[in-house]
Chain A
Amino acid sequence: MNLSYQEKSIWGSMVATIGVFGWYFANTPVFRNDGLTRSGRLGHLVSAVVLLVIIQIVYQAVVALKWKAEKKDERDIQIEGKAFRNAYFLLATGALAAMPAVVIVGEFHQQGEPHLISPYLAIDILLFFLVAAEIAKSATQLFYYRRGL
């Protein structure tokens, strides 16, 4: 398959995002209160973000060195626009899903059973949909690069 510079860049970004946040969510109980302190939970998240940034920098540098970097043209921008639209729907869904999560966590606290639910539920839901939006954006771009606009 003959991939363009943009496609190579997007593939790397998407695989890195899936890998790193796959690891994060696999090791982070979203619903259950695992007793992790706030700093412990923050440590997981910061580790994931730092790892993703490092992988992205190395990969994008390798791609730029191996294949000549190309400036985005009107087609790239149009495809990106369609991709952002799909990502927006997912992010909006995440924002809506996080709202009841805040209420649910509050209810558990009021019932005196905060140990049964993760206090970070709303944050994890938002983060999940943010990552899903990023993946959807990349997948949409790759789809339109192959199929055409």
Chain B
Amino acid sequence: MLPNDKIKNLLNRISTSSCEKSYKELFISLHPSLTGFAESILHSPEDAEEVVSDFFIQVWINRQQYSQILNPRIYIYISVKNLSLNKLKSRKRAGVSTAAEIEWNARMNKIFFNPEELLMSQEVVSSLMKAINELPPRCRTIFKLVKENGLRYQEVAGIMEISIKTVEAQMAIALRRIKANTEFLKEFPELQYILSQKNS
């Protein structure tokens, strides 16, 4: 996720000089995270794509108003969340109208780390992906927002309308499960031995 200052810069240029280059840059850099986020609410990649595009249409149409936003990272996520909730309502999924009622369900369909760099075998990679995909859906969503989208705990709490304590606890659960399901160095017992000697 781009830092707030960078996003503010881009929004300013879009706002004051209708800079289409900045508009494209903002779209390209936010698109992967935002579609993933919208999908975790809508459970449909097509709808998520549409919601993110709708959000950027608003940004362009009302661009004059976008130079004043203090915390664009949270603002953008909350806008996409609200557009997603509207979309859910229009799909007549009765009852879902507040963040508390969202069935968060982020999907982890891609490898988001570098197995070669981590000396991971194919088995370790698939058992790791399995561990992540077997996390409870809300826990997986929090994990994804922090790991893939690079959001701070506080931002995740604000966006999902939960307490920071919940984010802390859910992140602990996620990492603990990941560790339990993957022993990174099980193929290198010598290395583990050397490392543990060094540390004791």
Chain B associates with chain A: no
